[in-house]
Chains A and B, each alone.
Chain A
Amino acid sequence: MNQQHIVRAAAALATALLATAAQAQVAGTLSVRIGATHIAPQVRSGDLSAPSFPGTRVDVGSASALTGGLNYMLTDNWAIDVPIGLPFKHSFYGDGAIAGVGKVGETKVLPATVFAQYRFGEANANFRPYLGLGVTYAKFFKERTTATLNALSGGTPANPTTADIDDRFGLTPQIGFVYNFNERWFVDAAYYKSFLKTRTHLSSGQSIPIRLNPNVLAVGIGYRF
C-alpha cells in the first residue's frame, strides 16, 4: 500500500463526508473495506509431551495486520462477510517450566473466515449494529524456531529443531456495527472471538496442544458499489 493511495483515500473520504445522499444496504449491495485487525490470543497451553521438562508450556503474543474485507448483502438484513488481509505474525514464548526463556518461535497465520451476519435496522439507516457467526480456517505457515528452542530440545545450529502447527477450523461469533457516512462510504468495526485449538509438532518428536481462542478487533473504512 503506497502513500499515494492513502492520501487519495483520505481525500476521497473527506469529499464523501461532505456529500449527502441516500444510504442503502439493500439486498445485492457489494462493499469492500480496508483497515486493520488486532488478534490477541487468550492462550491456554497444554504441556509439551515427553521428553521435556515437566510442565513445559508456551504463551502466544498478539499481532496486528493490515486487513480488509468483502461484504455482500443477501437480503436487506442478511449479509455474507469475508475478511481478507495480510498474514499475522505471532511470537511464541516459553511458559510453565520454561517461563522466562523468552521467544521460542514465531509463525505466520492467515485466518480465513466466512461470516453470516444479521444487520439490524432499516437498510438505509445510518447506524446498523450486527451479529455474525463465522467459520474460521487458521492456516499457519512460515513457522520459525529460535536458538533457545533448539538448545532446549537437543537441536543444533546445523540440525535445528523445527516446528509445524496444525491448520485448524474454528467457530467465530462476531458483534459489530456499520456507520454510514453517506451512500458510498462507511466505517465497519467488529469484535469477534475465534474458538480455535491447535497442536504444534516439533521435529524432535514432541507436540504441545494450545488453545488460542483469540479476541479479535477489526476496523475498516469501506466503499459500497
Chain B
Amino acid sequence: MKPRMQWAARAAVASAVAALLSACGGGGSDTSTAVSVNSVRVMGDSLADSGTFGFKATVQGSAPTGPGSTPIWPERVATTYGQTLCPHYTSNGTSFSVNATCTNYAVAGGRINNFTAPASPVSITRQIQDAGTAGYNGSELVLIDGGGNDAADLIGAYLRVPRDGGAAYRAVLSTVLDAATVNAAFAAGATGLAQVGGRYMQTLAGQFATTIKTHTLDKGAKRVAIVNMPGITLTPRFRAVLASVAAASGAPAAAQAEAVFDGWVQAFNTQLASNVTGDSRIVIADLYSSFKDQATNPAQYQLTNVTTAACPVTGVGSDGLPTYTFPTCTAAALSAATPPTGATGGTNWWQTYGFADGFHPTPYGHQLVGQLVSRALAQAGWL
C-alpha cells in the first residue's frame, strides 16, 4: 500500500501545482484575423474616400489625411487586418493624379453612373475598372460602396419636374434606361414618373453588380464586401428637402415623396442583393437597415442626435440648403465651440452626433459603419 499512497499524494500535488501554474499570464486580446489580407482595396464615394481632395468627408482629426486624421470606415476595417489606406487618386482642384501604391480608389462625389464625366475617377465604375486593371491575387479584401450620389442626382432631377417640365429628369433617366421606357413613363403621368425612378435605380444596381463581377471577381478577387445604400431620406439634407416639399405642397405630399425616394433606394438594394446572392466571394453589409435602425432607435447606438449636423453651417447652396466646410470642421473646433442647446457630453458633445454635415457621418458614425461591415466580414468567415 505504501507506494500506491505515495503515488496518489504525488498526483494530487502535481495537479495542484499545474492548476496554480496555469493561472499565470495570458488574457488581453488575440488580434489575429481568421484570414490573412495583404491589401485592402476600396472603391466608392465620399463615405469611403481617404482624402482625394486633401480632407475627409467628416469631422477632421488633428490632420486632414494620413496619421492623426479621422479614421473612416474602410480605414477602420483595414486596421483590423494590419493594413493602412491612402488615396489612389489625388486632386489639385482641377485634375487628378494617380498614386499607384495607394489602394483607396474612392473619390468624394463618386457615382456609379457619373454621366457628366464617365472617364473621371469620380465614376465608381471607372474606379472598379482601374482597380481590376491592377490585378488581384486573391489575398485582397475589396470594400465597395456607392449609389447614394446617384440617388441624390435622380431625386434632385425628379423634384425639378414641376419647374423644367421633366427635362432634367428625362436626361438622367435616359443615361441608363432606353427611350421607349422613359417615354412610356412620362406618358403615364405622376405614377409613371415615380415608378420609373425605381426602374432606373434597379437597372443601375444590375449594372453595378455586373461591373463588380467583371472587373473584380473575374480578375481574381476572392473577398468583396459591398455596403448597400443607406436610406438617404433620413439624412438631415433630405429631411430639409422633404420639409420644403411639405411647406410647398403639404405634409401628405412630403410623406408621399419620402415613400417614393425610399422605394427607389430599396429597389437598388434589392436588385443588388439578388444579383450577387449565392456567390461566396461577395458579402453585402446592410447599411440600409442599420442606418434606419440608428435613426429610429438612436439610444441603442449611443447616438444623441441623428437629425442635425455637428459641423457649423457656413453658407447656403443654390438649392437653398445649408452648406458646410469640412476642412475647417475639426474635432478641436467643435470641442471649443459652445455646444448646441440640448447637447450633452460637454466638449465631446459632437461625438455622439450621427451626422457631420447634412449627408455624411461623424467619426462615430464611421465607427458604426465599420462595425457593421466587420459583422458581415466575420459572418463570411473573413475576420
Contacts and interface: CB of A to CB of B under 8 A. Distances in A.
B29 A151 contact: no
Interface residues of B, number: 50
B375 A50 contact: no
Given A5-B11, A223-B4, A151 B18 contact: no
A44 interface: no
B266 to A, nearest CB: 21
Given A148-B383, A184-B1, A8 B7 contact: yes
Contact of B302 (A16, A50, A54, A162): A50
A145 interface: yes
How big is chain A's contact interface, by range?
Answer: 35 or more
Contact of A142 (B8, B26, B300, B381): B26
Contacts of B5: 223, 225
Contact of B293 (A54, A145, A152): A54
Given A50-B299, A101-B383, 15 more contacts: A50-B301, A51-B368, A66-B15, A68-B12, A101-B378, A102-B34, A141-B23, A142-B27, A144-B30, A145-B29, A146-B31, A150-B29, A154-B76, A156-B79, A160-B29
A170 B317 CA distance: 65
B4 A151 contact: no
A162 B301 CA distance: 19
Given A50-B302, A100-B379, A144-B28, A1 B11 contact: yes
A154 B9 CA distance: 50
A108 interface: yes
Contacts of A144: 26-30
Contacts of B371: 53, 151-154
A68 B301 CA distance: 47
Interface string B21-62: 011011111111110000000000000000000000000000
B77 interface: yes
B327 interface: no
A3 to B, nearest CB: 13
B80 interface: yes
Interface of B: 1, 4-5, 7-12, 14-16, 18-19, 22-23, 25-34, 76-77, 79-80, 82, 290, 293, 297, 299-303, 367-368, 370-371, 374-375, 377-379, 381, 383
A148 B380 CA distance: 12
A125 interface: no
Given A142-B25, A152-B378, A156-B80, A223 B8 contact: yes
Interface of A: 1, 5, 8-9, 12, 16, 32, 34, 50-54, 66-68, 70, 84-87, 94, 98, 100-102, 108, 110, 141-157, 160-162, 184, 223, 225
Contacts of A154: 76, 367, 370-371
22 contacts: A1-B11, A9-B7, A16-B4, A32-B11, A51-B300, A54-B297, A70-B12, A102-B378, A102-B381, A108-B22, A110-B19, A143-B27, A144-B29, A145-B29, A146-B30, A147-B29, A148-B378, A149-B29, A151-B377, A157-B82, A160-B31, A162-B27
A125 to B, nearest CB: 22
A179 to B, nearest CB: 18
Nearest to A4: B7
Contacts of A84: 12, 15-16, 19
- Which 7 pairs, one residue from A and one from B, show the smallest C-beta to C-beta distance? A151-B374, A160-B29, A101-B378, A51-B302, A142-B26, A157-B31, A100-B379
Contacts of A51: 300-303, 368
Nearest to B22: A87
B374 A152 contact: yes
Contact of B80 (A102, A141, A157, A184): A157
B300 A54 contact: yes
B15 A1 contact: yes
Given A85-B19, A162-B28, A50 B300 contact: yes
Contacts of A147: 29-34, 80, 383
Most buried by B among A5, A110, A150: A150
B38 to A, nearest CB: 16
Contacts of B14: 1, 5
Contacts of A101: 375, 378-379, 383
B208 to A, nearest CB: 26
A86 B22 contact: yes
Contacts of A52: 300-301
A159 B18 CA distance: 32
A146 B22 CA distance: 20
Greatest chain B CB density within 10 A among A87, A94, A153, A157 is at A157
B293 A151 contact: no
A143 B82 CA distance: 23
Contacts of A153: 371
Contacts of A8: 7
A85 B76 CA distance: 42
B79 A157 contact: yes
Nearest to B380: A100
Contacts of A87: 19, 22-23
B74 to A, nearest CB: 13
Contact of B15 (A34, A54, A108, A152): A34
A102 B7 CA distance: 43
